[in-house]
Amino acid sequence: MRPVAVVGIGKTAFGAFPDRDLRSLAVEAGQKALENGHANASQVEAFYLGNFAGPSFVGQNHLAPYISNGIGIRDVPATRFEAACASSGSAFFHAASAVAAGLYDIVLVAGVEKMTSQTTPKVTEILAGAGDLCGEVRAGATFPALFAMIARRHMYQYGTTREQLASVAVKNHQNGAKNPLAHMRKVITMEQALAGKPIAEPLTVYDCSLISDGAAAVLIMPLERASEFTDKPVRVLGIAQASDNVALDEKDDITTFRAVQMSAEKAYKMAGVKAADIQFAEVHDCFTIAEIIAIEDLGFVPKGQGGPYSLAGGTCLNGERPVNTSGGLKSKGHPVGATGVGQICDVVQQIRGEAGERQLKRHTLGLAQNLGGSGATSVITILSAE
């Protein structure tokens, strides 16, 4: 397999954009990634798109060629990947695998979601389609409810507290306030986070990620060709995708995501690194409890220690292991189909030293963790300075 590099990144701002349609967001991100990678649309040999629910949110199907042709990419394969909130992580995994295998050289991967044109109950219902409609969803489960039940069990088994959950939100808002592309650029206090409106006990509105519009894209190619396009190639050192049961009540232990553990193990092995070597990470904090479980499943802290470690500041910008320096899904926003590729853009930005006031001192080896549903899909990507 050939080493693969990311040579271009492009993101729209994440937020609520009533005047923008899905296609224009994705086209903007795609064109920015091409420009950033000093490439032309005519050089692209395949287009991979991550999108969760464009057909439900805006009624549009056949999205991949609809968008690729908007970018100016013509004639080549254009395919959409759907894996709930891991849709574009999965698109990236398959694109990187195709380049590694020698199928293509120059590939554009994008992710997009346009969510804010629907009411919150309707968005809640569409998102619930990533769960088991014949079981948990029919009973009234929403995604906040599923993660609330995960949080309750984690609190019961490990003594995780409301303050520990809230500390994740406070930290991510601190980071997001410094990110010019973030959806909610405001600092929140611990008191605010604890007193938020209840969504599904024990989670309040401050434990939940945002409903956002947005798109992200990356240009990838074999590492051996990257120097033709950029001085700062970022290497895909390890990448893996894994799957698990969709229904939460079919999982043995809901305080851990088996697919995350499996994909992390594979990605670490492929990269030849250990969890302890990872300097920083973008993790899938769709809910605060998800970030706590992520740092446990990734092996950054022992099982059950994610809460105390977060509250103690271990994951802050100046902490031992910074997590979600972008602001995470919580503050940066969570246009679900764009999130996986967006995380990869954020890690690449840190590795290149382009993260502005959020720039870390140790930034040569980073990880992105993209989770689908309540853990049925996981994609782990490990990126390094070349």
Partner 1 sequence: MTDLGSGTIYTETVVYSPPEAYVNDVPYQLAIVELDGGRRITGRVAGERAHIGDRVKFAEFRNNVPFFSKAIDQKQS
Residues assigned a catalytic role: 85, 334
Site for partner 1 in 109-128 (CB under 8 A): 119-122, 124-125, 128
Give residue for tokens 């894996």.
Answer: 83
Applying CB under 8 A, the span of 244-252, 288-296, 310-318, 323-331 interacting with partner 1 comes to: 244-252
Minimum CB–partner distance for residue 118 and partner 1 (Å): 10
Q: How many residues bind partner 1 (CB under 8 A)?
A: 35
Helix residue ranges per DSSP H, the chain: 22-36, 54-57, 63-71, 87-101, 120-128, 143-158, 162-176, 190-194, 223-226, 258-271, 288-297, 306-311, 328-331, 336-352
User: Looking at beta carbons only, is 250 or 277 nearer to partner 1?
Assistant: 250
Q: Which residues of 95-134 are buried (b: 16+ CB within 10 A; e: fewer)?
A: bbbbbbeeebbbbbbbbbbbbbbbeeeebbebbbebbbee
As measured in angstroms, the least distance from the Cβ of 156 to partner 1 is 5
Interface with partner 1 (CB under 8 A), residue from 75, 224, 228, 249: 249
Pick from 166, 193, 248, 262: which binds partner 1 (CB under 8 A)?
248
Least distance from C-beta 139 to partner 1, angstroms?
A: 5
Rounded CA gap, 116 and 113, in Å? 9
C-alpha–C-alpha distance, residues 230 and 102, integer Å: 20
Asked whether position 10 contacts partner 1 by CB under 8 A, the answer is no
- The window from 197-205, 313-321, 327-335, 372-380 that contacts partner 1 (CB under 8 A) reads 197-205
> Closest approach of Cβ 137 to partner 1, in Å?
8
Q: Determine if the peptide bond prior to 202 is cis (ω within 30°).
A: yes
- Beta 107-114 vs 198-200: how paired, if at all? unpaired
| Position among 3, 72, 77, 135 found at the interface with partner 1 (CB under 8 A) | 135
If you compute the radius of gyration of the chain from its CA atoms, what whole number of angstroms results?
19
Query: Whole-number minimum distance, CB 203 to partner 1, in Å?
Result: 8
Nearest-approach distance from CB 200 to partner 1, in angstroms: 5
Is there binding between residue 198 and partner 1 (CB under 8 A)?
yes
Q: Show the CA angle centred on residue 155, arms to residues 182 and 189, nearest 5°.
A: 35
The correct pick among 18, 19, 61, 140 for binding partner 1 (CB under 8 A) is 140
As given in the structure block, the two tokens for residue 42 are: 């005519």
Residues pairing with 8 in the sheet: 219
246 is an interface residue for partner 1 by CB under 8 A: no
Helix (H, G, I), strand (E, B) or coil at 268: helix
Strand 107-114 vs strand 203-204: parallel, antiparallel, or unpaired?
unpaired
Site for partner 1 in 145-184 (CB under 8 A): 145, 148-150, 152-153, 156
Among 38, 62, 74, 138, binds partner 1 (CB under 8 A): 138
Closest separation in Å from C-beta 119 to partner 1: 8
Q: Binders of partner 1 among 203-242, rule CB under 8 A?
A: 203
Among residues 34 and 203, whose Cβ is nearest to partner 1? 203
> By 3-state DSSP, what share of the chain in percent is helix, strand and coil, each rounded to 5?
40, 20, 40
Binding to partner 1 (CB under 8 A): which residues in 253-312? 254
CB 319 within 8 A of CB 174: no
* Residue ranges in contact with partner 1 by CB under 8 A: 119-122, 124-125, 128, 135-142, 144-145, 148-150, 152-153, 156, 197-203, 247-250, 254
